[in-house]
């Protein structure tokens, strides 16, 4: 079954679920888009604005309609939502994806419920502000979408996940759950803690030095941007990917200490290396883009 012949049911209509539903609806990329949210007002608004084609009053109703089920609820509600909709989902279900930003723990809970239909799906895109009011059908344009198979995941589900990535304007990339979580901890989850620590430090320092907020400029704004986001999201990431985050924290402390102890000449060399590392990491996207034509 191709994605374009599927009804896609979206559970959770926040920034990610709302943007995904909106993009599929707007482009008529699938047969129809059904949506459910814990908040009935959100469902009503999503229907009125064309984000979804069919408003569902219950998660069970939403599950009964879909060929492809997409779980876009907070990480802490993933398992509960998945268990709740399992009995209502018909035998027609071809694929079940979660959009969680960590994969190992979520997959451990969801994979046994859904067998070959289940795969992890993580579009590498976000915004400082969440919620349907910030949803944007262009959110995933050019974004890498991690497609994460588990032990029993079937090829049909993986194929649909890759079609979904392309329908969103993104670029599918298959990867294992642990590999995903290690890399995501490095470029997304741990940086949230680093940025939050800087923001808390600036808050403390403002008490001592009232000049701090008066001098704050673009550098501080950018360095702390990911700490301006949704605290519950950060807490979910950290609590389900804690092992990787603690591993990275150890290495990070050693690196920061080396910078602090360096002579000016050594520091200049280390900062030059840091700039090259940053370029290389950010250029990695270009490589993928070229590889995939």
Residues forming beta bridges with residue 216, ordered by sequence position: none
Closest CA to 115 of 81, 153, 86, 78: 153
Structure-token match 């995939």, residue found:
292
Smallest gap from Cβ 12 to a copy of itself, in A, equals 18
Shorter beta-carbon distance to a copy of itself: residue 7 or 188: 188
DSSP characters over 15-35: HHHHHHHHHHHHTT-SSEEEE
179, two tokens? 């590999």
Count each helix (H run) and each strand (E run) in the chain, helices first: 13, 8
Between 74 and 115, name the residue whose CB sits nearer to a copy of itself: 74
Cβ closer to a copy of itself: 41 or 290? 290
CB of 150 to a copy of itself, least distance (A): 17
- Shortest Å distance, C-beta 143 to a copy of itself: 7
Shortest approach of a copy of itself to residue 94 CB, angstroms? 26
Measured in whole angstroms, how far is the alpha carbon of residue 246 from the centre of its chain? Answer: 20
Alpha carbon distance 226, 109 (integer Å): 28
Q: List the one residue out of 122, 94, 124, 90 whose CA is nearest residue 107.
A: 122
Cα–Cα distance for residue pair 135/208, rounded to 1 Å: 39
CB of 268 to a copy of itself, least distance (A): 4
Residue with Cβ nearer a copy of itself (92 or 201): 201
Residue nearer to a copy of itself on the CB measure, 88 or 194: 194
Beta bridge partners of 94: none
């Amino acid at each position: 079954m191709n994605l374009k012949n599927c009804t896609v049911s979206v559970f959770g209509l926040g920034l990610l679920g709302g943007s995904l539903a909106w993009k599929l609806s707007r482009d008529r990329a699938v047969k129809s888009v059904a949506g459910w949210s814990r908040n009935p007002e959100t469902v009503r608004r999503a229907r009125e604005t064309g984000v979804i084609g069919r408003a569902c009053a219950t998660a069970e109703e939403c599950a009964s309609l879909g060929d492809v089920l997409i779980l876009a609820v907070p990480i802490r509600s993933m398992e509960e939502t998945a268990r709740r909709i399992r009995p209502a989902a018909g035998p027609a279900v071809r694929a079940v994806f979660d959009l969680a930003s960590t994969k190992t723990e979520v997959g451990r809970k969801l994979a046994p419920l859904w067998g070959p239909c289940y795969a992890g799906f993580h579009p590498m895109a976000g915004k400082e502000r969440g919620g349907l009011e910030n949803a944007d059908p262009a959110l995933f344009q050019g974004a890498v979408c991690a497609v994460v198979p588990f032990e029993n995941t079937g090829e049909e589900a993986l194929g649909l996940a890759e079609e979904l990535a392309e329908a969103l304007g993104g670029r599918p990339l298959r990867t294992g759950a642990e590999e995903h979580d290690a890399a995501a901890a490095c470029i997304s989850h741990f940086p949230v803690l680093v940025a939050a620590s800087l923001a808390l430090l600036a808050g403390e320092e403002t008490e001592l030095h009232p000049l701090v907020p008066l001098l704050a400029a673009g550098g501080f704004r950018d360095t702390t941007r990911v700490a301006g986001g949704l605290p519950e999201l950060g807490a979910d990431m950290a609590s389900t990917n804690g092992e990787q985050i603690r591993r990275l924290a150890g290495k990070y402390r050693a690196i920061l200490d080396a910078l602090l102890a360096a002579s000016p000449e050594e520091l200049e060399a280390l900062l030059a290396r840091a700039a090259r590392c940053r370029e290389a990491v950010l250029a990695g996207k270009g490589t993928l883009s070229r590889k995939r034509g």
